[in-house]
Amino acid sequence: MKYITFSIIFLVLISACVQEEEPLTQVRISGHSHIYQFEHDIRDALKFPVNNIVAVNEMLWNTNKLNVVFNGSSKEDNRYFSVVMVNLGKLQTFFAYEGKAFNFNTFPVYYYTDSKWYNGRTNEAIPRPSLEEATLWLLGPNTGARGNGIILLNNTIYLHGTSYKNLTLAADKLVLTVMGISRMEDIPGYED
């Protein structure tokens, strides 16, 4: 009995010492009056892989037009992709403060179902676009995501997530990558 009481007291003391960290969901960038708000804890987003951070960053900094592509066959993923695009809107604000034009509302959006392609802004059927320029290809849990993160191949950034949360965390990772944040120490004013 004495050992059980001692064990319980020991566990209570240890649990009191272990404090759960507050989620970190905001970033302030030096020279920007805007506070960038993220849906999830930034620490979780930073864990997502990017196969070539430097090239992804350069591609987005060097383009004024970004094709956005997704498989439109899943209503669930289509809703997720809408949220991802809203979350990626932080890039527009970030680039504006940095003096770069980057307007998501003017970028071409394409989706496909089976073998038919559509203009994502008008829903009109179109021939398959060439996609030779910088492209962001969204892959969700029902439309081809086999993992979570960001992969750059040729001139296409594949942003993929196996769930809503993973897809939105991957979008946050892309935003943080462009902001030059790949680890917690890169966040201005962050103290461990």
- Residues near 73 by beta carbon (within 8 Å), at least 6 away in sequence: 113, 114, 142, 143
> Total structural domains in the chain?
1
CATH code where residue 156 lies: 3.30.379
Residue 105 pLDDT: 85
Q: Is residue 19 domain-resident?
A: no
Residue 1 pLDDT: 57
* Segment 130-185, tens digit of pLDDT: 999 999 999 999 999 999 999 999 999 999 999 999 999 999 999 999 999 999 99
- Per the structure, the complete domain to which residue 139 belongs is given by 42-183
Strand order in the sheet with 135-139: 125-126, 116-119, 109-113, 67-71, 135-139, 156-160, 149-153
Q: Is residue 14 domain-resident?
A: no
Asked whether residue 61 carries a pLDDT value surpassing 70, the answer given is: yes
Q: How large is the angle between the packed helices 164-178 and 53-61, nearest 10 degrees?
A: 70
Q: Is residue 34 domain-resident?
A: no
pTM attached to this predicted model: 0.87
Q: What is the mean pLDDT of residues 122-133?
A: 95
Residue 3 pLDDT: 56
Q: Is residue 87 domain-resident?
A: yes
Q: Is residue 139 domain-resident?
A: yes
Asked whether residue 10 carries a pLDDT value surpassing 70, the answer given is: no
Asked whether residue 124 carries a pLDDT value surpassing 50, the answer given is: yes
- The pLDDT > 90 percentage for the chain reads 81
Q: Is residue 90 domain-resident?
A: yes
Q: What is the mean pLDDT of residues 22-49?
A: 95
Residue 15 pLDDT: 47
Q: Is residue 140 domain-resident?
A: yes
Q: List Cα–Cα distances, 4 to 8, 11, 15, 17, in angstroms.
A: 6, 11, 16, 20
Asked whether residue 5 carries a pLDDT value surpassing 80, the answer given is: no
Q: Is residue 16 domain-resident?
A: no
SS (H, E, C) 99-126: CCCCCHHHCCEEEEECCEEEECCCCCEE
